[in-house]
């Protein structure tokens, strides 16, 4: 079914098209000057010394886990209310994801649940800034320092967000970014790793390029690596998008404010907060929650009603520990996540992108209100 109003839509201008076309007129399509420029711009923006561009946010997470030496027998604390790649990256290295519950207001990891999950086998915490809302970094970083744990910030949904005036992605040992077409900025497919240590950064650069180090020849491989490179065309696109990021974030915040005003009369839904103390939100998606009396089947009927009308919408997120790929694993069977499970069955992501028009937003809200009313 074609969608009249898609769930997401990339914002590509002539500047991006010209930037990509300019690369195609050169003989440098990989590992060239645009890569170095994009990495430098990402590092400067996040106030981190090193950035390594890679082929996806998932690749970034995998390289972060691998480069920290996390492996079999180690535990990594992660939320279940997030995209599945967070846990997958832990399993790629045969470590164990330990799922923890979330704060019911911000939908980020609850620091008290993280504290309770730490054992002698815990090596790291993956802190996800869910939906672009900064996590409670003061409390989480204090826990990590107290227990000597590595911190991986998953800022894949949160580029441009800040916590106490500091960019997310600049707190941990390593951070990850993603540039899929539904993100605030896109490179088509792509991601990046932010690193504080020159040693970690150097190893990640080698790992993304088949284990090659700069001091080695092209066919000399110091360790087993991966093809996680990002093309020059993608980097050129990313540079053009990054230069527009303040405008993009302002546009997305305006769409969120528009939804907030339109949805205010509907008492049976909970709107996401527009503002939080000490935090600036980078709007990735706009997710509403149905009131507690609504069941998961009621939520799905509303979703189907909107989709029949050509309106893109989705469940955000289906918890990882309940996914078919994880449901029978020991890490899922041991998970006790009442907040995650209660909230996830009532969430609904509405169409959200930079250039969503007032008329389309009104159509979405009217369709949502009608679908809710039809259930009563």
Q: Point out the residues that are catalytic.
A: 183
Structure tokens at 78: 């992660």
Instruction: For the chain, state the CA radius of gyration.
Output: 21
Q: How far apart are CA 130 and CA 349, in angstroms?
A: 13
Q: How far apart are CA 13 and CA 316, in angstroms?
A: 28
Within 8 A by CB and 6+ apart from 209, the residues are 31, 225, 227, 228, 229
Handedness of CA 59, 63, 66, 68 (dihedral sign): negative
Within 8 A by CB and 6+ apart from 178, the residues are 56, 57, 58, 60, 156, 157, 190, 191
Q: Are 259 and 358 within 8 A, CB to CB?
A: no
Chain mean position to CA 343: 19
Half-sphere CA count of 111, side-chain side, radius 13 A: 10
Q: Are 191 and 179 within 8 A, CB to CB?
A: yes
Q: How far apart are CA 207 and CA 227, in angstroms?
A: 8
DSSP secondary structure string, 226-279? -B---BHHHHHHHHHHHHTHHHHHHHHHHHHHHHHHHHTT-TTEEPPPS-BTTE
Q: How far apart are CA 355 and CA 336, in angstroms?
A: 40
């Amino acid at each position: 079914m074609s969608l009249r109003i898609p769930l997401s839509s990339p914002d590509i201008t002539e500047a991006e098209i010209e930037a990509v076309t300019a690369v195609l007129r050169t003989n440098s399509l990989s590992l060239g000057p645009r890569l170095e420029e994009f990495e430098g711009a990402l590092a400067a923006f996040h106030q981190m010394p090193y950035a390594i561009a890679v082929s996806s946010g998932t690749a970034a997470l995998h390289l972060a886990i691998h480069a920290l030496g996390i492996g079999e027998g180690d535990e990594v604390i992660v939320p279940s209310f997030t995209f599945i790649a967070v846990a997958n990256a832990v399993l790629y290295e045969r470590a164990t994801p330990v799922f923890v519950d979330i704060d019911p207001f911000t939908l980020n990891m609850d620091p008290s649940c993280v504290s309770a999950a730490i054992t002698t086998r815990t090596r790291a915490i993956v802190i996800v800034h869910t939906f672009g809302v900064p996590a409670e970094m003061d409390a989480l970083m204090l826990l990590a320092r107290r227990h000597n744990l590595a911190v991986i910030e998953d800022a894949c949904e949160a580029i441009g967000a800040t916590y106490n005036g500091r960019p997310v992605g600049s707190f941990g040992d390593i951070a990850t970014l993603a540039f899929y077409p539904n993100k605030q900025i896109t490179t088509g497919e792509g991601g990046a790793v932010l690193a504080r240590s020159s040693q970690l950064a150097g190893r990640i650069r080698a790992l993304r390029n088949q284990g090659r180090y700069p001091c080695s020849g092209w066919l000399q491989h110091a360790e087993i690596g991966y093809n996680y490179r990002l093309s020059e065309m993608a980097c050129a696109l990313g540079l053009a998008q990054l230069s527009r990021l303040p405008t993009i974030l302002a546009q997305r915040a305006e769409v969120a404010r528009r939804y907030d005003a339109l949805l205010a009369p509907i008492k049976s839904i909970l709107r996401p907060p527009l503002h939080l103390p000490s935090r600036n939100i980078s709007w990735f998606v706009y997710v509403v929650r149905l009131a507690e009396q609504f069941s998961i089947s009621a939520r799905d009927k509303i979703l189907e009603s909107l989709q029949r009308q050509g309106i893109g919408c989705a469940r955000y997120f289906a918890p990882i520990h309940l996914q078919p790929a994880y449901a029978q694993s020991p890490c899922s069977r041991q998970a006790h996540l009442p907040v995650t499970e209660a909230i996830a069955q009532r969430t609904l992501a509405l169409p959200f992108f930079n250039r969503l028009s007032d008329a389309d937003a009104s159509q979405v809200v009217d369709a949502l209100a009608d679908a809710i009313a039809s259930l009563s």
